[in-house]
């Protein structure tokens, strides 16, 4: 069971932007005008800082993008006659504009506040300089607008490799993760794994804050892994690079015997290497998952035992034919 969410489609409300900026270099970002428009939504990570829009060419503005007002924009507006300034601001503060961010602690033009309140366009201000605001705000939006899916699974760090364990409820994902933690690996998330796509093709998984560091094991109940095994037994997030699907053993099913080819499956439109491990009596799944992760790391270095054996067999057969 999974729940997908693409904020780039739904948009990030301006009020959520203010919340997300807390604890960042833009922690002082505050609302100055246009409070009725806090539900306006941001749809793009990239910001716009186009002086052309203020010179009577608002067609250069793009809907869904935050507009920055730096020193040059504020000073340009201040030099215009009041009637002209009002007209330019009315052209710029249009329905598709999510908000305006005034940087460097510059004063808020009363006319800007008036038009913003009338149009319901939030005006925010920060003491941070324009260049630094551009970097920090882009980082906040990149996180807030990243495509995300919540999966029923377990994410563990095995030798620096983010391994996502998937399978039906009760198949033993948590027990497998507990075995891996005892063997010195680290838990990232149990039961609910939030996976976001960053930078185009990088998948990052973490645990919802409410359940972070916790695990449920049938027969034992809920436990805090960090309390049991120390701070080194957990981590907050991890790049998802490998998937292990646990399935119930079925004697009528053909499972991989050679391992020559590595399958993949899409996750948020990113192809991720995957192996399927059948769970049955007498099989130590924790050890098998660790070996699968070690084999994947070796393959990333160009080392494949199956391919090496296949090459030797081919050489033997060719030698025999000769």
Q: ∠ CA 231-234-235 to the nearest 5 degrees? A: 110
Q: Catalytic annotation on 157?
A: no
Contact 65, 99 (CB under 8 A): no
List the catalytic residue out of 173, 197, 214, 245: 173
Q: Catalytic annotation on 186?
A: no
List the catalytic residue out of 252, 257, 269, 321: 257
Q: Catalytic annotation on 190?
A: no
Alpha-carbon span 167 to 247, nearest angstrom:
6
Q: Catalytic annotation on 257?
A: yes
List the catalytic residue out of 191, 213, 295, 296: 191
Tally of CA atoms within 13 A in the half-sphere of 42 that contains its CB: 29
Dihedral angle sign, alpha carbons of residues 172, 174, 175, 179: positive
Alpha-carbon span 106 to 102, nearest angstrom:
7
Alpha-carbon span 246 to 168, nearest angstrom:
8
List the catalytic residue out of 15, 41, 152, 212: 152
**Would you name the residues annotated as active-site residues?**
152, 173, 191, 257
């Amino acid at each position: 069971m999974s729940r997908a969410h693409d904020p780039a489609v739904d948009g990030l409300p301006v009020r959520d932007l203010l919340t997300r900026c807390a604890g960042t270099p833009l922690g002082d970002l505050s609302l100055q005008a246009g409070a009725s428009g806090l539900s306006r939504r941001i749809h793009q990570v990239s910001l716009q800082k186009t002086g052309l829009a203020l010179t009577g060419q608002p067609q250069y503005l793009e809907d869904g993008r935050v507009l920055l007002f730096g020193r040059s924009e504020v000073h340009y507006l201040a030099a215009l006659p009041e009637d002209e300034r009002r007209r330019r601001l009315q052209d710029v503060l249009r329905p598709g504009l999510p908000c305006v961010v005034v940087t460097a602690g510059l004063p808020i033009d009363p006319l800007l506040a008036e038009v913003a309140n009338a149009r319901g366009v939030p005006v925010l201000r920060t003491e941070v300089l324009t260049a630094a605001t551009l970097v920090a705000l882009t980082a906040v939006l990149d996180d807030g607008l990243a495509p995300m899916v919540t999966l029923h699974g377990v994410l563990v760090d095995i030798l620096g490799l983010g391994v996502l364990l998937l399978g039906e409820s009760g198949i033993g994902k948590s027990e497998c993760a507990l075995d891996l933690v005892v063997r010195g690996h680290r838990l990232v998330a149990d039961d609910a794994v939030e996976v976001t796509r960053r930078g185009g093709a990088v998948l990052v998984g973490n645990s919802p804050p409410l359940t972070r560091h916790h695990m449920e094991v049938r027969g034992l109940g809920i436990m805090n892994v960090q309390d049991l095994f120390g701070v080194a037994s957990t981590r907050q997030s991890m790049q998802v690079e490998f998937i292990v699907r646990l399935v119930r053993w079925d004697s009528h099913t053909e499972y991989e015997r050679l391992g020559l080819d590595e399958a993949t499956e899409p996750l948020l439109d990113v192809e991720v290497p995957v192996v399927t491990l059948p769970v049955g009596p007498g099989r130590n799944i924790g050890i098998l998952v660790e070996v699968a992760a070690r084999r994947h790391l070796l393959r990333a270095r160009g080392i494949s035992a199956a391919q090496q054996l296949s090459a030797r067999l081919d050489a033997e057969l060719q030698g025999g034919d000769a």
